[in-house]
Amino acid sequence: MVCLDISYMGLLHIAMESGVISWGQAKLVHANDTYESNGLDKAPTHKYNAFGDRGDIVGVYCTVKTPAGDYLTEEMSLAEIEAVRKTSKAAFSDKGPWVNHWNEMARKTVVKRASKYWPKASRLDSAIHVLNEEEGVWTEPVMPHKSEEDIREDERKRQQEIMDKVQLLCDEMAQAENMDDLKRYFAEAYRLTSGMKLQQNVQAIYIECKAKLEVASEQTI
């Protein structure tokens, strides 16, 4: 039987017992903390003084490690947490978990959202379903789980698409018959390679093509 008052730690425990994750945590982030997101597939950097004034709560996150060794992180801002709270039937009552135990409910909220990206387990799904029914919370559509390998493959395909587009634009630069066309192709290739080492190659090709056009222009005068 599923207990209706399952804490965020209870949900993580069910996920671990079901073999969905090997480890997990949910933590609040305060204004005076040092927090740096390292992407969905890595644990964030979170440093704080546990005994000092950490300031107001600004967000919450959940990081888990899958049996395959992948890290999955879900983050929610204070505004996102409040938006979920307002969908609860107890949101505007004078008492209840969101009034008496806001911190715990915020952690539970991010764990439930994070679980949408984990491998599926019927026991965990049942527990979350019962919690949502009891709390009267609107549930978001379930997103398919993506492993670290799938994420890397998607990124590899995205990079390859950029490379193909840039190669085509470089070919267009080499065939450009005037400076206007050359600059247009270069601008697009430069934009696509922003932050990439490949951008240096694009600049070198542009300089070379520009020099050829200038020489050709002088010869026609």
Angle (CA) 153 156 161, round 5°: 130
pLDDT, residue 8, reads 87
How far apart are the C-alpha atoms of 193 and 206, rounded to whole Å?
14
Per-residue pLDDT of the chain (221 residues; tens, 9 = 90+): 344 457 888 889 888 988 888 999 999 999 999 999 987 778 899 999 999 999 999 999 999 998 878 888 999 999 999 998 988 876 677 778 888 889 999 999 999 999 888 877 666 777 776 666 655 554 444 455 556 677 778 778 888 898 899 999 999 999 988 988 989 999 898 888 877 788 888 889 999 998 988 888 777 65
Angle, nearest 10°, between helix axes 198-219 and 148-175?
Answer: 10
Question: Residue 46 gets which letter from DSSP?
Answer: E
Nearest to 40 by CA among 186, 143, 176, 171: 143
How far apart are the C-alpha atoms of 170 and 176, rounded to whole Å?
10
